[in-house]
Amino acid sequence: MSGAAGNQLSLRDAAIDVVRRLQEAGHTAYFAGGCVRDRLLGHEPEDYDVATDALPDAIKRSFKGTRRVGESFGVMLVRSHGHVIEVATFRADGTYSDHRHPDEVIFSNEHDDAARRDFTINGLYEDPIAGLIIDHVGGQADLEAGVIRAIGTPDARFEEDHLRMLRAIRFAARFQFEIETDTAVAISSRAGNLQGVSAERIGQEFRRMATNGLWGPAMRLASELQLAGVILGEVAGPSDWPRCDHLDSCDPPPSSTRFEAAMAAWLLDQGEAGEDCRELIGDRLVLSNQERARLDAILSVHERVGAEWEEAGVATCKRLASSAVFGVCLELIRAVDGQWAASIESRVEDLSVSGLSPDPLLGGADLLEAGIEAGPGLGRILDAVYDAQLEGELEDRESAIELALDLASRGFAGG
């Protein structure tokens, strides 16, 4: 089939085409790792990795538009029908003196390439042309049994790369699999020691943990295996009895704030949601400014709802309820107090009838036009007028201007 414009192949078909071309050139080539696992579990993979015995130069010759990822590792990005497929030469990893990167990479055969992978469920190949699964590590049986098992000797594999401890937890939580006993023992015996793993990599792993799959089980496992202390340091709660009330029960739908919501839930469970701890977690996980701002917003609105909602007037409730993070806050409240969440929700429904965040009747220019003096007090008058609008006290622009003039004449804008 041709890849004519307007007739773009699916990601999978584009990846199959890469395998086909390598095989036609006389090479062994398979899908490898996560994409094979995901398909066998019935999920459509988000990306496809191809493993092959073709050396990087041969891969380059077989395709137009290849790019190297990390020169020395010989991984190539191949463009295929508008998609990008990662193609890597079978390799065996050398020793890991920094607990993170193999000291050298040796191009090798498919057996070694499967053996260097972390868990059996991640060590499978698929030949999509022959329609075969190639399993050198017992991955299929573990997939069927729902087991996360280190390939080879667990102690040695985690010693090579400490990040694999977090990966084990992430996959266990995501697929609701059990971590096999020897693998779990190897993790807990060195948990809390993420030596050689940069804060960026830990942060990245937590992001993936929080965004796909259930975060309650993921964070609970992280706590139980004493990895919580690595992130929260001295403010982490006791690992033998982690409180996960918010984490266990709160599972908002995927959204742009899902990661921050998970972090908020965790801090609330630790009873450490104050500004110091937000900053600490921001530094430890190398959160972006945007992520820090969202985490702050969630925890501030959550705190204000807790402190003010029951006594608050219409305007305050409307302002809170129209905050971008209100939905997440409501889910966090529901996790520990379903009844209260339901009563908040029903009040929001009532308030929505008159509009939670209607367009303001007045802007700064209207006040100036009405003869009110420019200055910092304008904002205060606008806020008060908007509050009155939210309370339902103002019908139209005229009554809004009347109120603004009245406030100005009473010196409301002044210090």
Nearer to Mg ion, 50 or 295 (CB): 50
Question: Quick one: tokens of 18?
Answer: 């890469």
What are the two backbone dihedrals, phi and then psi, of residue 69, each rounded to the nearest 5 degrees? -110, 125
Per CB under 6 A, contacts with ligand ATP among 133-152 are none
Per CB under 5 A, contacts with Mg ion among 31-50 are 34
Taking the C-alpha atoms of residue 168 and residue 199, their distance in angstroms, rounded to an integer, is 18
Per rule CB under 6 A, is residue 117 in the interface with ligand ATP?
yes
Residue 164 interacting partner from Mg ion, ligand ATP, none (CB closer than 5 to 8 Å by kind): ligand ATP
Give 102's contacts (C-beta < 8 A, 6+ positions apart).
Answer: 93, 94, 95, 96, 116, 160
* Nearest residue to 256 (alpha-carbon basis) of 286, 295, 285, 218: 295
Per CB under 6 A, contacts with ligand ATP among 47-76 are 49
Q: How far is the CB of 317 from ligand ATP (least distance, A)?
A: 40
Helix/strand/coil (H/E/C) assignment for every residue in 134-196? ECCCCHHHHHHHCEECECCCHHHHHHHCCHHHHHHHHHHHHHCCEECHHHHHHHHHHCCCCCC
> Is 344 in contact with 333 (CB distance < 8 Å)?
yes
Any idea what the Cα angle at residue 352 is, between residues 346 and 354, rounded to 5°?
Answer: 135
- Residues 163-182, one symbol each (x = binds ligand ATP by CB under 6 A, - = not), give xx--x---------------
- Residues 210-249, one symbol each (x = binds Mg ion by CB under 5 A, - = not), give ----------------------------------------
Per rule CB under 6 A, is residue 33 in the interface with ligand ATP?
yes
Taking the C-alpha atoms of residue 411 and residue 409, their distance in angstroms, rounded to an integer, is 5
Number of residues that bind ligand ATP (CB under 6 A): 11
Nearer to Mg ion, 48 or 158 (CB): 48
Per rule CB under 6 A, is residue 292 in the interface with ligand ATP?
no
Q: How far is the CB of 46 from Mg ion (least distance, A)?
A: 7
Residue 113 interacting partner from Mg ion, ligand ATP, none (CB closer than 5 to 8 Å by kind): none
Residue 217 interacting partner from Mg ion, ligand ATP, none (CB closer than 5 to 8 Å by kind): none
DSSP secondary structure letters along 42-95: T---SS-EEEESS-HHHHHHHSSSEEEESGGGTEEEEEETTEEEEEEE-EEE--
Q: How far is the CB of 43 from ligand ATP (least distance, A)?
A: 9
Nearer to Mg ion, 117 or 292 (CB): 117
Q: How far is the CB of 208 from ligand ATP (least distance, A)?
A: 6
Nearer to Mg ion, 73 or 340 (CB): 73
* DSSP label of 225: T
The single residue among 23, 62, 120, 122 that binds ligand ATP, judged by CB under 6 A, is 122
* Nearest residue to 169 (alpha-carbon basis) of 204, 129, 96, 220: 220
> Is 384 in contact with 413 (CB distance < 8 Å)?
no
Q: Contact positions toward ligand ATP, by CB under 6 A?
A: 33-34, 49, 117-118, 122, 161, 163-164, 167, 208
* Residues of this chain that bind Mg ion (CB under 5 A): 34
